[in-house]
Amino acid sequence: MDYKKRLEELIRERALKVADEPIFKLSSGKMSNYYLDLRTITLDPEGGFVIGNIIFDMIKDKNPDAIGGLTLGADPIAYATSIISFIKNKPIKPFVVRKEPKGHGTGKQIEGNLKPGENVFIVEDVVTTAGSSLKAAKVVKEFGANILGIIAIVDREEGGEENIKKEGFNFYPIFKVSYFLKK
């Protein structure tokens, strides 16, 4: 199966909504004439399988110890990649970065088996300005892990890549939104 081609089909069929005028309010408050609801794919068995395979193939030769990002967008992506990595005998641990440290117990902000010094990838479904990705990267870096890069399923091409690179991280989008809007 051509996983990238299938992901493109799923995005076109389920996730991409386009209007003639800006009717979609983004988390930034900005209005847009298109919206990407990638959770319709990341929270789907086939979608998770496809995404997990794509990302595993992207990162397997970089030997990461773990993969994760800011909850909730990153969670199903990290889990799917982790399961595929286990099936392919090259396990990569998933982790979750809470938006705020836990208010009880140990007060952790990172859940999972991540250890300081490990090599990780940060994942995100859609990157616009990269605020969520960079928030996760800051927490993970302060924890003591080494960030190999940030991966997005779709880059909205609205400054996220520049913001990521400005912070010194590599950026690996699977798709750029212009790919979908020009066809």
CA gap 177, 121 in Å, rounded: 21
Beta-ladder partners of 172 = 151
Does 125 show up as a binding residue in the annotation? Answer: yes
Does 106 show up as a binding residue in the annotation? Answer: no
Does 131 show up as a binding residue in the annotation? Answer: yes
Does 98 show up as a binding residue in the annotation? Answer: yes
Does 128 show up as a binding residue in the annotation? Answer: yes
CA gap 125, 132 in Å, rounded: 10
Does 126 show up as a binding residue in the annotation? Answer: yes
CA gap 29, 8 in Å, rounded: 27
Does 78 show up as a binding residue in the annotation? Answer: no
CA gap 124, 177 in Å, rounded: 14
CA gap 17, 1 in Å, rounded: 26
Does 39 show up as a binding residue in the annotation? Answer: no
Does 129 show up as a binding residue in the annotation? Answer: yes
Does 124 show up as a binding residue in the annotation? Answer: yes
Does 120 show up as a binding residue in the annotation? Answer: no
Does 18 show up as a binding residue in the annotation? Answer: no
CB 112 within 8 A of CB 66: yes
Does 19 show up as a binding residue in the annotation? Answer: no
Does 44 show up as a binding residue in the annotation? Answer: no
From the list 86, 69, 70, 78, the residue with the least C-alpha distance to 51 is 78
Q: Which residues are annotated as a binding site for orotate?
A: 128, 156
Q: Which residues are annotated as a binding site?
A: 98-99, 102, 104, 124-132, 156
Q: Which residues are annotated as a binding site for 5-phospho-alpha-D-ribose 1-diphosphate?
A: 98-99, 102, 104, 124-132
